[in-house]
Amino acid sequence: MAAPSPLRWWRAPFWLLELATGAKSFADNPILGSKRLNRRGLHVARLRLAHKIAWSRRHRLASVVPAEWRERFDRDGFVEIRDFLPAESFSRLRNALLTREFDSRKQQQGDTITRRVPIGPQVLRSVPELQELVASKRWRSLLAYVGSTRAEPLYYIQSIVMGQAQGGPDPQLELHADTFHPSLKAWLFLTDVADDQGPLTYVAGSHRLTPERVAWEQARSIGINEADRLSQRGSLRVSPAELPSLGLPAPTRFAVPGNTLVAIDTSGFHARGSSVRPCVRVEIWAYSRRTPFVPWTGLDLLSWKPIAIRRATWLPTIQDWLDRLGLRKQHWQQSGRRTPLQP
């Protein structure tokens, strides 16, 4: 990781302000990436504070979540719920989504293509079963607890197409934490996921800040200049061989039938499992990552309904505009109108 050019130091006030946000990239912010400051505990201090505040928010969100779900999540960092929807409701939802064509975007990583359809007002109007799902109390309360916030997640119809493109190694196959603070990803699988078809994997208990995890985080932050590119950008990679020294088990593999909901804290270690044959899986995917250092569970402007319902559809347009200005690269390319199962 190269030292910042003197011409970049005009950004120093912004780098300092980022300490109070969810900024995670050691490479883009020389303060976050400072070996001297991290040796003195900067990264670990942000880590501890973010987790302490997140668990405080969860405590206030707990009363509306079934105790069994809370206990599983608190222990493991994930919740797996099979037959989440009544069979008839799921069948209607699945048929409505898998047989329609939608405008989509795609991104390729290795030999895997991820295709997403943002869920906005038009999609919700055309699929009432989907609108009913994302408005349901069971769905919203669990996702709020796992994400430690009532802020509205982004929703997508997501297709994972594996083994049907040429490419190098898929970085999603490496165990990693998305960021230093608790955040949410959730999958309601519309298709069955076999064990050899790239299932989600998660290291149970890796969302907890044990002394071993804190020491590992500090060591990684101090040596970040020698780390891989994605770790330098704040998504720390961990090898399976390191898990025993952290007091952690082998990853759980979510080979599950359709109509299974899996919600995880992405500060825990997770990855996409490998696939031995070409396959396509489809899911309703939810994502929420908010500023970690606010104590309240709501009061989020982006969750105001007229905005929240449109955020997923607005984001690609905004990112296209930033890409044209040379301010931020757009990694999601237009993929045309397709059904979710189309390879």
Give the domain ranges of the chain. Answer: 14-338
Q: For 18-22, 182-186, 250-254, 296-300, which range has the lowest pLDDT when averaged over its residues?
A: 296-300
DSSP structural state of residue 176: B
Interval 274-320: pLDDT, tens: 888 888 999 999 999 999 999 998 777 778 888 888 999 999 999 99
Nearest to 181 by CA among 149, 153, 141: 149
Tell me how crowded residue 322 is: count the other CB atoms within 10 A of its CB. Answer: 13
Global confidence as pTM: 0.93
| Predicted confidence (pLDDT) at residue 2 exceeds the cutoff of 60 | no
Q: Which two tokens stand for residue 78?
A: 């994930």
Interval 152-182: pLDDT, tens: 999 999 999 988 777 777 889 999 999 999 9
Interval 48-68: pLDDT, tens: 999 999 999 999 999 999 999
The pLDDT assigned to 294 comes to: 94
Instruction: State which CATH number among 2.60.120.620, 1.50.10.10, 3.60.150.10, 3.30.930.10 fits the domain covering 14-338.
Output: 2.60.120.620
**Average of pLDDT values for 334-341?**
92
| Predicted confidence (pLDDT) at residue 148 exceeds the cutoff of 70 | yes
Q: For the purposes of burial, counting CB atoms within 10 Å of the CB of 250, is it exposed (0-12), middle (13-18) or buried (19 or more)?
A: exposed
20 contact partners, CB below 8 Å, separation of at least 6: 293
Rounded Cα gap, residues 282 and 287, in angstroms: 16
32 neighbors 43 (Cβ within 8 angstroms): yes
SS3 category, 232: helix
CA 123 to chain centre: 22
As a whole-number percent, the residues of the chain with pLDDT over 70 amount to 97
